[in-house]
Amino acid sequence: MRKTNIAVFASGTGSNFSAIVSAVKTGMIKANIPLLICDNPEAPVIKKAVRAKIRVVVIAAKDFSDRDQFEKAIIEVLRGCGIDLIVLAGFMRILSPAFVKRYPSRIINIHPALLPSFKGAHAIRDAFEYGVKVTGVTVHFVDEKTDHGPVIMQEPVRIENGQTLKRLGQIIHKVEHRVYPRAIALLLRGRLRVRGRKVVC
Ligand code: GRF
């Protein structure tokens, strides 16, 4: 049986991308990563992919007349690479409902908070400023709503007294790098089923 082909979508640093690539190398994730889709030509993740000899396709939304055209260009590349699973790792674009419907239960995302709390692009800061004592990391299937799909895995992170936002960010990222590969490996075992909002094993 051929291995699952994963496309990672990222816009920024790419620390999660690197963690996933390492997990593929060690055999923890039994899949290929033939493709990185990046919407930002300046993103540091691009160099990381080049170093890992992974094909990078930069598709910037500003080069297209609308989101539909932008996503059509992405879909064409995905088809060309025979992609089975899309892994969002800091991809700063919201995918349209039409795009998400094309890949049912085949797009996953990592969010740096315990969903449904602190959705959005500043989740670590929002949780810190709110003053919660526990935040964390969520890996979830992507559905038509932002930061909303069925939860695959979560891990809590305590916010200790006197902890700085910077330190919290470092801890969250460290947890992400452990949790995301584990969630992908679990998904690839093929035993996860989505029942309504719930993911069951
Ligand atoms: C991570 O915190 C992830 O949870 C969020 O975007 C960030 C990406 O970081 N979706 P990196 O580019 O993987 O370092």
pLDDT at 1: 79
Rounded distance between C-alpha atoms, residue 196 and residue 201, angstroms: 14
Q: Return phi, psi of residue 62, to 5°.
A: -65, -15
Mean pLDDT calculated for residue range 26-34: 98
Mean pLDDT calculated for residue range 5-23: 98
Which tokens go with 192? 């996860």
Rounded distance between C-alpha atoms, residue 93 and residue 96, angstroms: 9
Evaluated on CA atoms 102, 56, 82, 18, the torsion sign reads: negative
pLDDT at 74: 98
* Ligand 1 atom nearest residue 44's Cα: 12
pLDDT at 49: 98
Which tokens go with 130? 């709110």
Active site residues: 111
Residue whose CA is closest, atom 6 of ligand 1?
Answer: 90
State yes or no: pLDDT of 123 exceeds 90: yes
Residue whose CA is closest, atom 5 of ligand 1?
Answer: 90
b (16+ CB within 10 A) / e for 97-117: eebbeebebbbbbbbbbbbeb
Prediction pTM value? 0.97
Which tokens go with 48? 């990381």
The mean pLDDT of the chain is 97
State yes or no: pLDDT of 19 exceeds 90: yes
Q: How large a percentage of the chain has pLDDT more than 90?
A: 98
**Amino acid (1-letter code) at residue 96:** S
Q: Which residues line ligand 1 (CB under 6 A)?
A: 10, 12-17, 89-90, 110-112, 173, 176
What's the burial of 70, exposed, middle or buried (CB within 10 Å: 0-12/13-18/19+)? buried
Domains annotated for the chain, with CATH where assigned, are: 1-103 (3.40.50.170), 109-201 (3.40.50.170)
Residues sharing a CB contact under 8 Å with residue 57, sequence separation 6 or more, in sequence order: 35, 36, 37, 38, 77
What's the burial of 84, exposed, middle or buried (CB within 10 Å: 0-12/13-18/19+)? middle
Residues 38 and 66: beta-carbon distance below 8 Å? no
- Taking only the tens place, the pLDDT of each residue in 148-180 is 999 999 999 999 999 999 999 999 999 999 999
- Taking only the tens place, the pLDDT of each residue in 96-112 is 999 999 999 999 999 99
